[in-house]
Amino acid sequence: MAGSGYTKVNSVDISINFGIPANENIDVLGRFSIYTIAPSSAIYTPQTLQYLNRMLDRLTIAVTRPPMGSSGSMTHELYAAGDTTIGIHPNNNTAGANNDAGGATPGQGTSTLSGTCPDCGGNHSDMGGNTVRQVKLLTKDREVLIFNFGQNENTATLSGKKAYYNYRLQMVNASGTPVTDNPTYYDMFIGDGYVMRYSAEDGQVISLTTPFGRTIKPDSPSVGLEIIYDESGNIKQVWSSAEGLADVVVTDPGNSYEIRIYPPANAGTKTNGAYVPTGDPHTVWKIENPNPGQATQVQVTKSVTVNGVTTDEVSLYDYSYAQEGWKLDSPDGLEVISQSTSWNYSKTVRTISETVKTAAGEIASKSTRVMQKFPFGDRTVVSTLDPEGANLQTVYTYYSSGGGIGRVETISYPDGNWVWYKYDDEGRVIEEIKPWKNSPLKSPASQARSITYSYAPLDSRDTVQPNDARPRSIEEKILGVTVRKEFNARLS
C-alpha cells in the first residue's frame, strides 16, 4: 500500500513503500529509504533520502583514465551533483551512508569521499592497476556497486565488498552491440533474467528487459513512473500513475522535512517541471530533530488520514555513543527496542545485542549477532536467539577463495539442520547438500540429500546472459539415488 512502511533499529532505518508499476507484473521494488548507522545532521534533510526502484535508479559516477603507460588525464561523469557528507561511525569507520560511493549524490543518499580528486572528491583507490573505466551505482542501505573495466574489455564484474552480488555491467553502442569504449548505454545483468539499460550520458534508466524478452520503459503507460530532482540533486517528487504523488517538502531547514503522499486524483498537473498537488495527502511521514543543535535523536511521525480522521504514529530513535547503538521507541510505547555493540580488542569482531522490552519494562526478547571482518567484507558468523536462555544459535561459514569467495559455505541451524553450498567459477550455486536423517554437517552427497544445478542451455534458442543464474537443469538425489529432475529452456 502506498505510504505504508516500517522502522528498524539496526540503524536509523526507515522504509516507505511507494511507486508500483501501473499494469506490469515485474520484479520492481518501489520505496523511499532513510538510513544512517551513526548520528548525522544530514538525516533531518532530504540530502540522505534515497528512492529505490529499478525503473528509476541512476548510475552514480563513471570514471575513465588512460591505460597504464599512456598519457592523458582522468575524466568523470558525475550523474548527480551536490555536496553532503554523512557521519562516520567513530569506531568502525563506517559511514552513515556508505563512504565509498565516489562523489556526492545527495538525492541518492551517497556521501562525499575524503580523497583528493578535484572533480569528485574521491581517491579512486578501488580502481585496479589495469582498470580504464569505473562505474558505480548506489543500492539499498547505501551499498555501492563498483564495476571496473579493464583495457579492451566490454564487460565488468563487480569489485569490492559487494562482488558476491555477481552482477555484470556491459558497455554497448546505440545498436546494443558490446563496445570497449565510448558506450551509448550500460547494460546491467542482474542474473535473474532482468537486464537494466542505463544512459551513458546522464546515468538514467532507459529500459528494463524482462526474462521473457519484453522491453519496458519507465514512462510507458503500463509502468507510469517518474522521479523529479531539485537543483541540488535531492529527490523532490516521485509520480506514479497507480499510486499518485510522493511530494518531499522541507518544513524546517536543517531540522525537518515531510514526505506527503497524495492519491492519483490529487497528484495535480506538472508546472515548471514539478507537480502541483491538490487537496490533502492521505499519508504524511515527517522526519525531524526533536532537539535541534544535537543529532542523536530522530523522531519519525506517520500521519494517516481516513474519512477526515487523522491518526499519528510516533517513533523515536535515540543514539548512545557509549553503547554504539540506537534505541527505538515504537508508536504508542508498546515496545522499546535497544541495540548495543561491543568489539574485540583488534576491532575485527563485533557483537550486536538487541533487547525488546514491553511498555511495562519487561524483557520480551533478546538476540545477538556476531559479525567478523574478512578480506571480502563483514559477515555474520553467529546469530543467537535468547542467548541467556535457550541459546538458539545459527552458525555461518564462508568461502575465502575461488568462485564462492565471500559467499556462504555452510549454515548450521539450532534444530540440527544444516546446508552446504558449492559454487562454480561464476559464483553460481551448483550444489546444495542438506542432511538426510542424522547426516552430520558437510556429509558427502552420497550420504545426504543433494540438489545439483546446471546452467548449460538445453535448447539452441536459449541464449545464456552474462552471469545468468537461472538453472537449466536441476537434479535432486537422496543417498545418491535420483528422486527428481527438472529441465528448463529460457527463451525470450
How is 423-488 classified by DSSP, letter by letter? E-TTS-EEEEEE-STTPPTT--GGGSEEEEEE---SSTT-PPPTT----SEEEEEETTEEEEEEE-
* pLDDT computed for residue 148 by the predictor: 92
* pLDDT computed for residue 331 by the predictor: 76
- Indicate the DSSP class of residue 67: P
Lowest mean pLDDT among 17-26, 58-67, 163-172: 58-67
Mean pLDDT of 321-344: 82
* pLDDT computed for residue 93 by the predictor: 36
Selection from 131, 140, 116 nearest residue 53 by Cα? 140
Percent of the chain with pLDDT over 70: 85
* pLDDT computed for residue 430 by the predictor: 97
* pLDDT computed for residue 473 by the predictor: 97
CA distance 319 to 339: 9
Res. 4 pLDDT band, cuts 50 70 90: low
Cα 321 to chain centroid distance, Å, stands at 26
Per-residue pLDDT tens for 195-253?
A: 999 999 988 899 999 888 889 998 888 899 999 998 888 899 999 999 999 999 999 99
- Pick the residue with more confidence: 275 or 359? 275
Domain boundaries, the chain: 5-312, 325-487
Contacts by 298-305 with C-beta closer than 8 Å and gap 24+? 298/12, 298/43, 298/44, 300/7, 300/14, 302/5, 302/331, 304/3, 305/280, 305/281
Q: Which three cell numbers stand for residue 251?
A: 518544513
* 271: helix, strand or coil: strand
CA distance 188 to 200: 12
pTM over 0.85: no
Torsion over CA: 111, 140, 424, 155 (sign): negative
Q: Which three cell numbers stand for residue 437?
A: 536423517
CA distance 178 to 175: 9
Task: Tell the burial category of 460 from Cβ atoms under 10 Å away from its Cβ (0-12, 13-18, 19+).
Answer: exposed
* pLDDT computed for residue 114 by the predictor: 36
Specify whether the CB–CB gap between 264 and 246 falls below 8 A: no
* pLDDT computed for residue 117 by the predictor: 61
* pLDDT computed for residue 88 by the predictor: 30
> Across all residues in the chain, what is the average pLDDT?
85
Lowest mean pLDDT among 2-6, 68-72, 113-117, 230-234: 113-117
CA distance 204 to 406: 30
* pLDDT computed for residue 120 by the predictor: 56
* pLDDT computed for residue 7 by the predictor: 60
Res. 17 pLDDT band, cuts 50 70 90: very high
Per-residue pLDDT tens for 274-305?
A: 999 999 999 999 999 999 989 999 999 999 99
Res. 95 pLDDT band, cuts 50 70 90: very low
The answer on pLDDT for 371 being more than 60 is: yes
The single-letter code of the amino acid at 412 is S
Mean pLDDT of 150-171: 89
